[in-house]
Structure 1
Amino acid sequence: MERTQQGPRARYREQTRAEIKDVALRQLAEGGGALALTRIAKEMGLSGPALYRYFANRDDLLNALIRDAYDDAATAMARAAARSTRDAHGTRARLHDLAEAYRAWAIAEPHRYLLIQGAPVPGHVAPADTLERARAVLGPFLPLFAAGEPGAAVATTVDEMTAWLAADASVGAWVARYAPEATGAPSSADGTTTAAGDVRAASALAGAVLAWAQLHGSVSLEVAGQFAGMAHQGATLLGAQMELLADAFGLE
């Protein structure tokens, strides 16, 4: 009986929270990052105190939007990875598939992309649990670079990632979750044996971090309209960057 009585109330609460988030996203899109709870409440016909029954404050609402954006982006990337694997694409082609999926999500959801990759509201600090969500977005890149053979151009980065793996167990767990095949005798990028970690795991991590840097740089410029008036297309530039990265890691 109690479950029946609570069910409708719980559903109504979730529906109202979803509506609040929709209005907030529209406000962010229209206002260049401004978010005012009083305006949201007014648009929905709620009083300020009533709105606070659903979100404790502005940061609570922003945190919910950020979590949702990361989760949606991660879902888009996971689907792209599964589709690329199903189509039996090579590792280099899979890198392009993932990069284009990242770019496509950002262009389709520009205000949400800027919410998680920019500084949406001055002074706001994203919740700690967004770290795992951000890693889920990049996770599908890890197995691609675990299969690579990093060259001299990225050797220093691989060594730095080896040290990071040794210093932070959560990073190794992240790599193991998405690239369990990244195992073997521990060695550094120059081939010398070390207790710091496995070169394949370090390669996976280095590639994913470098891919993120390339993606963020190119896609953020495009989403912000910085390519307007220039002759190139965003997809062309990103494709060239991924080719250079694939060459650096010897992806086939």
Structure 2
Amino acid sequence: MTAGNGSPRQRYRDQVRAEIKQAALAQMCDGGPAALSLNAVAKELGVTGPALYKYFRSRDDLLTELVFDCYAEAAAAVHVESERIGELSPRERLQHLAHAYRRWAVAAPHLYRLLTSMPSPTPDSPPETVDRAKAVLGPFLPVLGSGHIWPAATELREQVQEWIKRNDRLADWVGTYAPDADPATALTGALLVWVRMHGVVNLEVQGKFTGMGHQPSTLLTVEMESLADLMAIPAT
């Protein structure tokens, strides 16, 4: 007889899987994904290595699920902020969304490092991975779609336009979040936000700003305001 989702057996399985993931994350806090050892996780939990394979098929399977969880947590932080700031101007929303992502990364640096140390999703990645990664940037799209591409970024926009033509799912993704926006403009803006935001956050999480005379949050504000100026994102 198959156990139902709410059965004691399934609840026990879910609990053990959660404990395995927590032990794995703790192991990676200092050494990153390379430090993950199923045998060490098993020892931490007081079970044998082979026992873990009842819950995760392999080390890569465990890592993949941890990445899923990280994307989901990052997306939740951005989406919660997006719901909270719906009445603000596009420029103000850009700042709030970027800082919500930074707060998540700084509060959970081991999760952020896991995302940035793993290969970025590609069109050939499992759809669930791609969709979860897209969810992080989704709330930025209507904000960025309210702006324009400046002359120096024209070539980049043209390349993005060709990318959209080759991949219908990109246009569908933009349309879900920003149905009134030009997809190429919104997606080009998303690329630029991704680069600028991670440029600041990644250096902060690595501790590269330690001892300097500025606040990383101020630097992120400057980066977002600079992009908003370049794209003429409305302030009202």
**Mapped partners of 1:103, 1:201: distance in 2:** 25
**Mapped partners of 1:70, 1:171: distance in 2:** 18
Structure 1, 156-165 or 230-239: larger mean CA deviation: 156-165
Q: Tell me the residue number matched to 2:169.
A: 170
Q: Which runs of 5+ in 2 are unaligned?
A: none
Instruction: Assess if the C-alpha contact under 8 Å between 2:81 and 2:96 holds in 1.
Output: yes
**Mapped partners of 2:141, 2:106: distance in 1:** 23
Aligned Cα RMSD in Å? 2.0
TM-fit CA distance, 1:2: 6.2
TM-fit CA distance, 1:4: 6.7
TM-fit CA distance, 1:180: 1.1
Q: Tell me the residue number matched to 2:73.
A: 72
**Over residues 108-134 of structure 1, what are the superposed CA-to-partner deviations in whole Å (9 max), with x where a residue is unaligned?**
1111111111249xxxx9755312211
1:25 partnered with 2:25: yes
Instruction: Assess if the C-alpha contact under 8 Å between 1:154 and 1:248 holds in 2.
Output: no
1:10 partnered with 2:4: no
1:191-210 matches, cutoff 5 A: 200-210=182-192
TM-fit CA distance, 1:30: 3.3
1:12-161 matches, cutoff 5 A: 12-33=12-33, 34-85=35-86, 88-119=87-118, 127=126, 129-161=128-160
Q: Tell me the residue number matched to 2:230.
A: 248
Instruction: Assess if the C-alpha contact under 8 Å between 1:37 and 1:48 holds in 2.
Output: yes
**Mapped partners of 1:96, 1:26: distance in 2:** 31
**Mapped partners of 2:216, 2:198: distance in 1:** 12
2:195 aligns with one of 198, 203, 213: 213
**Mapped partners of 1:147, 1:5: distance in 2:** 44
Instruction: Assess if the C-alpha contact under 8 Å between 2:3 and 2:10 holds in 1.
Output: no
TM-fit CA distance, 1:43: 1.0
User: SS of the counterpart of 2:139?
Assistant: helix
Q: Tell me the residue number matched to 2:179.
A: 180
Rg larger in 1 or in 2? Answer: 1
Q: Taking structure 1 as reference, are residues 159 and 43 closer, same or farther at Cα in structure 2, changes over 3 Å only?
A: same
TM-fit CA distance, 1:238: 0.7
Q: Taking structure 1 as reference, are residues 5 and 21 closer, same or farther at Cα in structure 2, changes over 3 Å only?
A: closer
**Mapped partners of 2:213, 2:158: distance in 1:** 38
**Over residues 119-159 of structure 1, what are the superposed CA-to-partner deviations in whole Å (9 max), with x where a residue is unaligned?**
49xxxx97553122111101111101111122223222222
**Mapped partners of 2:187, 2:5: distance in 1:** 49
TM-fit CA distance, 1:218: 1.1
Q: Taking structure 1 as reference, are residues 36 and 5 closer, same or farther at Cα in structure 2, changes over 3 Å only?
A: closer
Q: Tell me the residue number matched to 1:235.
A: 217
**Over residues 177-198 of structure 1, what are the superposed CA-to-partner deviations in whole Å (9 max), with x where a residue is unaligned?**
111122xxxxxxxxxxxxxxxx
Percent identical among aligned pairs is 47
Q: What is the identity, as a one-letter code, of the residue corresponding to 2:14? A: E
**Mapped partners of 1:181, 1:4: distance in 2:** 43
Instruction: Assess if the C-alpha contact under 8 Å between 1:63 and 1:126 holds in 2.
Output: no
Instruction: Assess if the C-alpha contact under 8 Å between 1:63 and 1:127 holds in 2.
Output: no
TM-fit CA distance, 1:20: 0.4
